[in-house]
Amino acid sequence: MEIKGCSALVTGGASGLGEATVRRLVAAGAKAVIVDRNPDKGELLAKELGDSVVFAEADVSDPEQVQAAVERAMSLAPLRIAVSCAGIGWAQRTIGKDGSPHDLAMFQMVVNVNLIGTFNVMRLAASAMSRTEPLADDERGVIVNTASVAAFDGQIGQISYTASKAGVVGMTLPAARDLAPVGVRVCTIAPGTMDTPMLAMLPDVQRQALVKDVQFPKRLGRADDFASLVEHIARNSYLNGETIRLDGGLRMPPK
């Protein structure tokens, strides 16, 4: 699919993987809506990238806020690309060492943002895409969701995060099948240990420890590695219904 001249909506687009994706798609000729809860970073990035980019403050689990962001994207150009990068994490075991149970409210919050929020964006973006004019092969758009290698190799203390990301993986094929009649593709990227702002706060010793189980190349993933794959998925119209691990061959140990 040709990226130039279309509109892209990117959640979590003000930093990390989302920011790199916005930059990549705009460089390829797309217009973009940065969807994020951080107006300071979002507005700054939109201003830097120029008139083809706008910021929309939104909680991805809020239907009205996401719909407003989708409508902004549609006002720029035909909405053809939606990328969900917004997500949160939480570390807690199912029961603690003292036998206390996992905080149920925190489990629900992680699932609400990472899984329900992703579905909310997908359903609203797909609805908008279904009303666009078809391109070659009757394609109308592509949705790229973000899971994690934790969906397959969840570590100790990652029960809520793993459940949410496994749900994103599980949605991929049925969503692709649901949306095939309207020409909208769905793929998921499952990143490994990526050098995001969250990891940048760790000491170098801990950052290097994260690299030891990566096979090759022996480094943390870069945000542009993710953005490059998003661009490839958008351009390659035969990629559909697939979850792609982006992890340098990493298989995560129990802890």
Residues 6+ apart with CB under 8 A from 219: 211, 248
Is 161 noted as a catalytic residue in this protein? yes
Helical spans, DSSP H, in 6-111: 16-27, 39-49, 63-76, 104-111
The catalytic position among 55, 107, 161, 226 is 161
Q: Tell me how far the alpha carbon of residue 244 is from its chain's centroid.
A: 12
What's the rounded Cα separation, in Å, for the pair 190 and 186?
13
**Residue found by looking up tokens 């570390």 in the block:** 91
What's the rounded Cα separation, in Å, for the pair 88 and 112?
10
Characterize 148-157 residue by residue with b for buried, 16 or more Cβ atoms within 10 angstroms of its Cβ, and e for exposed.
Answer: bbbbbbbeee
Residue 117 CB burial class (10 angstroms; 0-12, 13-18, ≥19): buried
Pull the structure tokens for residue 224: 């542009």
Pull the structure tokens for residue 245: 């691990």
Q: What is the DSSP letter of 9?
A: E
Q: Tell me how far the alpha carbon of residue 185 is from its chain's centroid.
A: 15
Characterize 27-53 residue by residue with b for buried, 16 or more Cβ atoms within 10 angstroms of its Cβ, and e for exposed.
Answer: ebebbbbbbbbbeebbbebbeebeeeb
The set of catalytic residues is 161
